[in-house]
Structure 1
Amino acid sequence: MSDSESVPSAGSPESAALPGAAARIASGYVFAGPALDLGALLWDGRCLPGAPVRVPLSVLNRHGLVAGATGTGKTKTLQLIAEQLSARGVPVFLADVKGDLSGIARPGRDGDRVRRRAGEVGQRWTPAGFPAEFYALGGLGHGIPVRATVTSFGPVLLAKALRLNRTQEQSLGLVFHYADTKGLELIDLKDLRAVAAFLTSDEGRAELRAIGGLSAATAGVILRALTEFEAQGMADFFGEPEFDTADLLRTAPDGRGVVSVLELPAVQDKPLLFSTFLMWLLADLFHDLPEAGDLDRPKLVFFFDEAHLLFEDASRAFLEAITRTVRLIRSKGVGVFFVTQTPKDVPGDVLGQLGNRIQHAVRAFTPDDHKALRATVRTFPESAYDLEELLTGLGTGEAVVTVLGETGAPTPVAATRLRAPESLMGPVDTAEMDRAVRGSALHDRYAQAVDRESAYEKLSAARPREAAPSPRAVSREEHEEEPSLVEQVVRSGVFRSLARSVGTQIGREITRSLFGTARRRR
């Protein structure tokens, strides 16, 4: 049974008896093509199952926002949308910050509350699980390890994770530039620390002077930040094998989209790190996907939870890069939903690109809360509701909705009682998750970390030996100057072999993106 068959359509006998204003709102959610069912219209204190509130499948690459106070039902909304996308053959990425979304892989449990909600919204509820893969950043927690190399993560995102200021961020970019041009691969944090340490050493100061604008003091700050970062246990997130974001675009053998669940409870105390990692995933997808034009359904829908963490204390350049990535990635067929407590958490330039809005209840207890409430109301188009009153009175699992219609015009604002997810509303047992991870076709590809030769090993091997030189060596030195450390690295056979293997030439810099992340060949 398709989603469109699960509720009465506007124009049916049930919707014909709707009050005038409610009928006008309901008519804005009648679509010719496939759509996802969100719930039923709330009007004048009643839930109207004959007035379904829906979102066209074709506009879900036009991005969206799911907002609301803690405990208002945002997580269940993500689960509801993800289920229907999967059923329609669309892969989904979910950032599971609280560990509540793993249940999407298992059928839900029937009960009085589920049946009551289904009856209120006209939903024909059937328990169902959906194909899922479980991931964990750096292997911390339950899931297939997701790692990135330092060079592909790039200086802009890494500077955000290191809490560097704008000047230090620019200087870190120069360190990356130096490593790129000298063929010193930055795979993990010890590689970057080795390059930074070399540039601040006696033998590296000449190289440092050759990089315009990078002072020894700033290089020292970066080195200390990297050392502290490693001491906090961050080294596990960087390395190889690097995660291939194409694995997020898979479908199951039965045609349903795979739901990729990134388990984040183990790194809840590292919010800045996981928010920048999520942005790296988006930037990497943007690099690799071809232009897609207008599609009848997105290639992937990406849910970015705790979105406020990404924007806090962000530099102007960082915000501009996010804005451009969000604006341009829709043409690659990827939809992005930011999930946060209030629209104020998202900069205006980004918020203006989020055409689909699901706003759960807003709590207004303090003057600042009331100010945030008024700001939230101003982000919505004119409506038939008193939104300030409505948003403070919504119950759990209710939301104010406006989406883009099939023509790209926004639908009327609709207070909505949302449907119940059909999968398990809660986490699966960790032992069950571990079995699923070990049984995944991706497990053997990513489970074991690999530490191959890169900048750290090359710089360590190139250090002059402390033993006394042989007479023959002394004789040579009388007639020619000893090559510099970097020259020794660049001239080495290992380096030349590596350069050939990655299809680059000595002295050619890696192409970097809006975030400074490196393009990689797949």
Structure 2
Amino acid sequence: MGPGIPLRATVTSFGPVLLSKALELNQTQEQSLGLIFHYADSKGLELVDLKDLRAVVAFLVSDTGKAELKGIGGLSTATAGVILRSVTAFEQQGAGDFFGEPEFDTAELLRQAPDGRGIVSVLELAAVQDRPRLFSTFLMWLLADLFHDLPEVGDLDRPKLVFFFDEAHLLFDGASKAFLESITRTVRLIRSKGVGIFFVTQTPRDVPAEVLAQLGNRVQHALRAFTPDDAKALRSTVKTFPNSRYDLEELLTRLGIGEAVITVLSENGAPTPVAATRLRAPRSLMGPCPAAELDAAVKGSSLYGSYAQAVDRESAYEKLSAGQEAERRSAEAKAADRAAVEEAVRGEGVRGAGKAGKEETSLVEQVVGSGMFRSLARSVGTQLGREISRSLFGTARRRR
């Protein structure tokens, strides 16, 4: 994170559409991510940070988790792998700091100074400065959250809050249909909440026609036509302005620093005539703020105590880990029970065999020791002795 007060959002509140945009997922992967969010919400698995999302995805492609999605469509292992790799790369680039708690309350942007004047909030994403698309997407989350929370106020004489989206073309590069619909709907309806929006970009062609149609105020700085593509962009820009007494195609190429062509919506909602004007520069430091002054301003802010320290409470990751640990212990207990039963059966078999052997020995002893057996043995022995003697001494009777 940068040197300022951290801005965080939970993965759940960020939503699958905006997160798919930030992860650069295709339409199929975006739909699968929506299914993951739906499952987590229905099972009470809070997606607070990225490790929660990873845990749910990994669970849903496990043997246990696959059965959970049979009724609402499955999650293929290949798609899950793409999502997990995108989340991991996303986190390694510093985006993980954006997701967590405490979540930033967008109402803080409406706070006022003690003297009643408004406050200018500068939002930057130093940790992922090489991912400006993420920054723009995060700002779209701010708008969506404001739209959800702010009450309807109708047509105010001036907005309560104004957003300026710098490098707005990054917001729309590779945007899915669902994302464009979300932006168009937000831009069209949030005006009734007292919020104004300016998209700052090089040419109007960088903004989709559906969104551009909702923007009534125009401040156009100089456009140069050094190449055929530049000339084409210039002509396209001129066509987006109302009819004017100026030769806009020539005028836009001659504007200098601080000069612009402006048209706004009048009180009756119609565009005003185009006016060429010079803008008054604000009084400010044209350079980076010294680190010591910035640190003092951050720690002196009323927001510092509320958002500076991250909180990691029990959420999807902890719940799934606890469930898997309980299953492991249960499996170990069942295995131990089976082993004990098998050991008991083996022991009983040995004891049973020993008992049968003893019973057989006792029976033989009883038979041998009986008087009848001894008498029979003596009789047989005597007769056998006589036959042997006759054979030896020739006294045996001869048969005729």
Please give the TM-score of this superposition, normalised by the length of structure 1: 0.62
2:169 corresponding residue in structure 1: 308
The alpha carbon displacement at 1:307 in A equals 0.7
C-alpha distance in structure 1 between counterparts of 2:182 and 2:165, whole Å? 16
Q: 2:101 aligns with which of 234, 237, 240?
A: 240
Equivalence for 1:190: 51
> 1:219 Cα shift?
2.2
Match of 1:426 among 287, 293, 301: 287
Give 2:264's aligned residue.
403
Out of 61, 71, 76, the position equivalent to 1:200 is 61
Q: Secondary structure at the match of 1:146?
A: coil
Contact 1:142 1:263 in 2 (8 A): no
Change (3 A) 1:266 1:188: closer
Aligned amino acid, residue 468 of structure 1: E
Does structure 1 residue 177 correspond to structure 2 residue 41? no
Separation of aligned partners in 2, 1:471 and 1:271? 53
Measured after TM superposition, the shift of residue 221 of structure 1 is 2.0
Give the counterpart letter for 2:24 in structure 1.
Answer: R
Q: 1:418 to 1:214 in 2, by over 3 A?
A: same
SS of the aligned residue for 1:236 comes to helix
For residues 208 and 338 of structure 2, what CA distance do their matches in structure 1 show? Answer: 64
Structure 2: stretches of 5+ with no match in the other structure: 340-400
Does residue 230 of the first structure (1) align with residue 94 of the second (2)?
Answer: no
Please list, as runs of the form range in 1=range in 2, the aligned pairs for 1:108-147 lying within 5 A after superposition. Answer: 140-147=1-8
Could you tell me how far 1:474 is from its partner in structure 2?
Answer: 5.9
- Alignment-mate amino acid for residue 211 of structure 1: I
Q: Deviations over 1:369-404 (max 9, x none)?
A: 111010011111111111111111110110111111
Q: Does 1:369 align with 2:230?
A: yes
Matches of 1:273 and 1:173 in 2, distance apart?
Answer: 19
1:468 aligns with 2:338: no
CA distance in 2, matches of 1:223, 1:208: 18
RMSD value over aligned CA atoms? 1.8
Match of 2:297 in 1: 436
Contact conserved, 1:208 with 1:215, CA < 8 A, in 2? no
Q: CA–CA distance in 2 between the matches of 1:245 and 1:447?
A: 16
Which string of whole-angstrom CA distances, capped at 9 and with x for unpartnered residues, describes residues 71-126 of structure 1? xxxxxxxxxxxxxxxxxxxxxxxxxxxxxxxxxxxxxxxxxxxxxxxxxxxxxxxx
1:84-163 to structure 2, matched below 5 A, reads 140-163=1-24
Letter in 1 for 2:110: L
Could you tell me which amino acid in structure 2 is paired with residue 289 of structure 1? L
Tell me what 1:358 maps to.
219
How far does residue 312 in structure 1 lie from its aligned partner after superposition? 0.6
Matched, 1:220 2:81: yes
Give me the whole-angstrom Cα distance separating, in 1, the residues matched to 2:96 and 2:65: 25
Secondary structure of residue in 2 paired with 1:469? helix
User: Post-superposition shift, 1:296?
Assistant: 2.3
Identify the residue that residue 165 of structure 1 maps to in structure 2: 26
Give 3-state SS (helix, strand or coil) of 2:270's partner.
Answer: coil
Aligned to 2:306, which of 440, 445, 448? 445
Residue-by-residue CA offset, 1:115-145 (whole Å, 9 max, x unaligned): xxxxxxxxxxxxxxxxxxxxxxxxx112110
Compared CA separation, residues 389 and 465, structure 1 to 2 (3 A): same
Unaligned runs of 5+ in 1: 1-139, 476-522
Q: What is the aligned partner in structure 2 of residue 482 from structure 1?
A: none
Residues 471, 263 of structure 1: CA spacing in aligned structure 2 closer, same or farther, 3 A cutoff?
closer
**Structure-1 residue corresponding to 2:344:** none
Q: How does 1:316-355 map to 2 (within 5 A)?
A: 316-355=177-216
Between the two proteins, the alignment pairs up a number of residues equal to: 337
Bigger Cα displacement from structure 2, 203-212 vs 355-364: 203-212
Larger radius of gyration: 2
SS across alignment from 1:203: helix
Contact 2:102–2:307 under 8 Å retained in 1: yes
Is the contact made by 1:200 and 1:220 (CA closer than 8 Å) also made in structure 2?
A: no
Q: Which moved more, 1:195-204 or 1:277-286?
A: 195-204
Aligned mate of 1:261, from 122, 126, 130 = 122
Write 1 or 2 for the structure with the bigger share of helix.
2
Measure the CA separation in 1 of the matches of 2:189 and 2:138: 19
The superposition leaves residues 319-343 of structure 1 with CA deviations (integer Å, 9 ceiling, x where unpaired) of: 1111011000001110001111110
Q: Answer whether contact 1:191 1:456 (CA < 8 A) is retained.
A: yes
CA distance in 1, matches of 2:120, 2:293: 17
- The structural deviation recorded for 1:430 is 2.2
Alignment-derived partner of residue 11 in structure 1: none
CA separation in 1, counterparts of 2:172 and 2:3?
A: 27
Query: What secondary structure does 1:214 align onto?
Result: coil
Q: Secondary structure at the match of 2:276?
A: strand
Measure the CA separation in 2 of the matches of 1:258 and 1:238. 25
Q: Does structure 2 conserve the Cα–Cα contact (< 8 Å) formed by 1:200 and 1:208? A: no
Q: Match of 1:253, SS?
A: coil
- Cα separation, 2, equivalents of 1:325 and 1:213: 31
Compared with structure 1, are the counterparts of its residues 386 and 200 closer, same or farther at alpha carbon in structure 2 (3 Å cutoff)? Answer: same
Tell me the alpha carbon deviations over residues 418-475 of structure 1, each in whole angstroms, 9 at most, x when there is no partner: 1121333433222211110001111010001111110000111111225731689669
TM-score norm. by structure 2 comes to 0.81
Higher relative contact order (CA 8 A, sep 6+): 1
Q: State the distance in 1 between where 2:200 and 2:129 align.
A: 16
Q: Name the residue aligned to 2:141.
A: 280
Structure number having the greater strand percentage: 1
CA deviation after TM superposition for structure 1 residue 266, in Å: 4.5
Which residue identity is paired with 1:359?
A: Q
